Structure 1
């Protein structure tokens, strides 16, 4: 496998620690931090529903809608404005995982094009990267909002590679989500799965080219050659 011309990174969970949202979101969920993960799972699930039903709502709006649903499942009534304000406040204040900045620094210094590719809205994505102090590492920042289709739809990965002016086979997708890895792999991209705590590949999905336990392993995988 050739050295990649570009590396695409998923953002939420892969680079940013969404566990930091638990205290803030739990305030509208009966102070039960344990169901915040259920909320994020529902958020991802319903972004797929958007694809299947040919709809596209803002990622924050889907987050608010699913927060209302999770609250309802616990007998809590949550209004839309409160849900949206709560999501917006906390999803744009996530810290990067400890292994992220050192890895991006190493890859950036070697001249590899680094691209952020997220389901977050364009405005929200920029806010997230700025808060985590990692925005300056990326040569391009791509939100699916521009296209109006969520990952893992194949159009997203083809579009992203065109935006970065690279062929799919010359690019790597890095993600802590099996569905993201499978989606990118299906379009010809190379893939690396990041084994964040509690995360595993979908057993029936397309296998990643590599799996790493920490981001720091990326440096040795992609330089001087990938494979």
Structure 2
């Protein structure tokens, strides 16, 4: 069947998760971050994801904002950065992450072709709404779907079920796009067509399914369709 619905992961796919640490590093109030911000950003994201998987396996769900704070606390401790003001600044910036440069035009091109567009994210609704509003991309989205509806993180099938429940579409009508190889693989195993946005040039994950396409960014998605 032809693709009717394009669904995007949010963090790392549409929104630049490294931007909060990079922006805070330019603040003269936090001079130590100037050299440490790449490590903070890397560890923050890694722990954020690890904690979603561990909570899902243990059936100890909490919302993504708590996971985001827990991941940041680990990352700051790993670099010896015990600074409540820095922590508060990084969390505030995370709620207003910029999109990657190609995102607005890419979404507009999909909408111009009559396609349905949505976010499907681990993010809590208030986090996602704040990021979408800050980036100004709400007019290009038909829905913002959060795992909080089902109370478990990706790649659980109940999360991907949210797309069909929202739009009434078949699995093979959906193109799912994620910068996380494991997420793209999980969605492919579920039955979606998938794109892995491999910005870092990482090797593919060894999982039960493979993404259907791999791209370096989001620019060519309208042409690929």
TM normalised by structure 1 equals: 0.87
| Mapped contact 1:7–1:114 kept (Cα < 8 A) | yes
Deviation by residue 1:87-141 (Cα, 9 ceiling, x = unmatched): 5411121111111111111110111110111111101101101111111101111
**Which residue matches 1:40?**
45
The counterpart of 2:72, out of the listed 62, 67, 70, is 67
Q: Distance in 1 between matches of 2:30 and 2:152?
A: 29
Deviation by residue 1:169-221 (Cα, 9 ceiling, x = unmatched): 22111011101101111111110111223545314462211112231211111
Using a 3 Å threshold, how does the CA distance of structure 1 residues 56 and 86 change in structure 2: closer, same or farther? farther
Q: Distance in 2 between matches of 1:181 and 1:97?
A: 19
Deviation >6 Å, runs of 4+? none
**Structure 2: gaps (5+ residues):** none
Using a 3 Å threshold, how does the CA distance of structure 1 residues 67 and 25 change in structure 2: closer, same or farther? farther
Residues 1:8 and 2:11 are matched in the alignment:
no
| Mapped contact 1:60–1:87 kept (Cα < 8 A) | no
Alignment of 1:1-227 (within 5 A): 2-24=1-23, 30-31=32-33, 32-35=36-39, 36-77=41-82, 83=87, 85-204=88-207, 206-222=209-225
Using a 3 Å threshold, how does the CA distance of structure 1 residues 66 and 214 change in structure 2: closer, same or farther? closer
Deviation, 1:19, is 2.3
Using a 3 Å threshold, how does the CA distance of structure 1 residues 75 and 94 change in structure 2: closer, same or farther? closer
Using a 3 Å threshold, how does the CA distance of structure 1 residues 150 and 78 change in structure 2: closer, same or farther? farther
| Mapped contact 1:29–1:76 kept (Cα < 8 A) | no
Q: Distance in 1 between matches of 2:150 and 2:90?
A: 23
Deviation, 1:163, is 1.7
| Mapped contact 1:15–1:100 kept (Cα < 8 A) | yes
Q: Return 22-31 or 87-96, whichever deviates more.
A: 22-31
Number of residue pairs aligned between Structure 1 and Structure 2: 219
**Structure 1: gaps (5+ residues):** 223-227
Q: Distance in 2 between matches of 1:142 and 1:150?
A: 12
Corresponding residue SS for 1:67:
helix
TM normalised by structure 2 equals: 0.88
Q: CA RMSD in A?
A: 2.2
Q: Distance in 2 between matches of 1:94 and 1:212?
A: 22
Q: Return 99-108 or 67-76, whichever deviates more.
A: 67-76
| Mapped contact 1:114–1:137 kept (Cα < 8 A) | yes
Corresponding residue SS for 2:18:
helix
Q: Distance in 2 between matches of 1:87 and 1:56?
A: 23
| Mapped contact 2:43–2:71 kept (Cα < 8 A) | no
